[in-house]
Amino acid sequence: MSVHELNLPPDEPLPAFPLGQLQRWAEQRPLQIALRHRRRGVWKAWRWIDVQREVERLAAALREQGLEPGARLALCGAFEPTLLLLALAGQHLGARVLTVSRQAKGEALRRLLRQARPAFAYVQRRENVSDWLEAGDTSQPLRLFSAQAAARVRGAWQVLPLSVLLADEPAEALSLGWRQAAGAPLAWCDEGTEWRDGLGHILALWLKQGTGFAFPETSESASRDRREVAPAVLLLSEPRLQALAAEIDSRLAPPGSWRRRLCDWTLANPQQAPRRWIKARVRELLGFRRLQRILVGAPAPAASGPVWLSEYLERAA
């Protein structure tokens, strides 16, 4: 299994990624799709030239809001185009970009915010904005942007609508039908900032190799959305790897049944025809019919390795 690992310390910002790579892809592949995201049931797409323009627009808007080199920009939410574009815009200005788990609450969140000390933040969901307001030290200045939360002031904190950063009419993302969305090989990730190294992995694969990425509308719709785009590359954390292994296991017959024994027998006898049919069926159900590579954020322990994932997906390409 391919392993891609950055080994970022938990309280350190992301390493800087050369934005010259973005310019490279915008020049070499201006009209190729760089990002896909399902929004309100419709697949949207950003070409490489669109990504470059949006990063420049967001960087200009963040500069107007006071973001300076060395300032800390915290990001909290699901991985999707807006979060990625803000990360690149912050790095374009020389800010130190870091992520805060969207699952952290109460004292755990308080400790994370105390370590991060952000001056600017993008918090995706209103529920997380409320958690931040309860846990954060509002005596320290912070400009927090969110598309879902209403504008408000709490101490030295300002909660601002994301539209403040997009005062001009933003570039319209292309609308894609499901056939178009499934047309080209791409990488898939359905996690968020609870995966500490996740954003670094995505940026590395996306910018260094020019791999297009797709993201689901929500965590709940991930399986459905993944089936529509049928990714060629799967990027995930070790806990998500284990969860996917459990999902595959649930698609098979119950342990101890004759059908499950048949599955086990086909795995032990790769020359048998039923093996190919079972594997093809599982891949189709999970949206992995075109899967070629699995990239894991940290190696899974050998003793608890996801047997079904390895047998049914990785070796089936």
User: What are the tens digits of pLDDT across the range 257-287?
Assistant: 877 777 777 666 666 566 666 667 667 777 7
Q: Are 159 and 152 in contact (CB under 8 A)?
A: yes
pTM: 0.86
Taking the CA atoms of 97, 98, 100 and 101 in sequence, report the sign of the dihedral they define: positive
The share of the chain scoring above pLDDT 70, in percent, equals 78
Q: Name the token pair of 40.
A: 């309100």
Q: What is the dihedral of CA 18, 21, 26, 31, to 10 degrees?
A: -120
Element (H, E) at 236: strand 233-236
CA angle 221, 279, 212 (to 5 degrees): 50
Tell me the β-bridge partners of 121.
Answer: 74, 144
CA gap 121, 314 in Å, rounded: 38
Q: What is the DSSP letter of 166?
A: G
Q: Is 283 helix (H, G, I), strand (E, B) or coil?
A: helix
For 316, half-sphere exposure in the C-beta direction (CA atoms, 13 angstrom radius) is: 22
For 151, half-sphere exposure in the C-beta direction (CA atoms, 13 angstrom radius) is: 5
pLDDT of residue 298: 62
Total residue count of the chain as it appears in this document: 317
Kind of pairing between the strands at 157-161 and 33-39: unpaired
Instruction: State how far the alpha carbon of 311 is from the alpha carbons of 250, 275, 317, in Å.
Output: 15, 10, 11
Residues 6+ apart with CB under 8 A from 164: 61, 65, 145
Q: Is the model's pLDDT at 314 over the cut of 70?
A: no
CA gap 101, 115 in Å, rounded: 13
Q: Is the model's pLDDT at 69 over the cut of 50?
A: yes
CA gap 315, 58 in Å, rounded: 42
Higher-pLDDT residue of 229 and 59 is 59
pLDDT of residue 183: 64
* 39 burial level (CB within 10 Å; 0-12, 13-18, 19+): middle
Average pLDDT over residues 92-115: 95
pLDDT of residue 58: 96
pLDDT of residue 273: 60
User: Which pLDDT tens digit goes with each residue over 165-200?
Assistant: 976 555 567 766 556 655 677 999 999 999 989 999
Instruction: State how far the alpha carbon of 8 is from the alpha carbons of 71, 93, 279, in Å.
Output: 19, 21, 35
| pLDDT, averaged across the chain | 83
Q: What's the alpha-carbon Rg for the chain, to the nearest Å?
A: 21
For 141, half-sphere exposure in the C-beta direction (CA atoms, 13 angstrom radius) is: 6
pLDDT confidence bin for 4, thresholds 50/70/90: very low
Query: Residue 148's CB: how many other CB atoms inside 10 A?
Result: 14
Q: Which amino acid is at 71?
A: A
CA gap 262, 12 in Å, rounded: 49
pLDDT confidence bin for 8, thresholds 50/70/90: very low
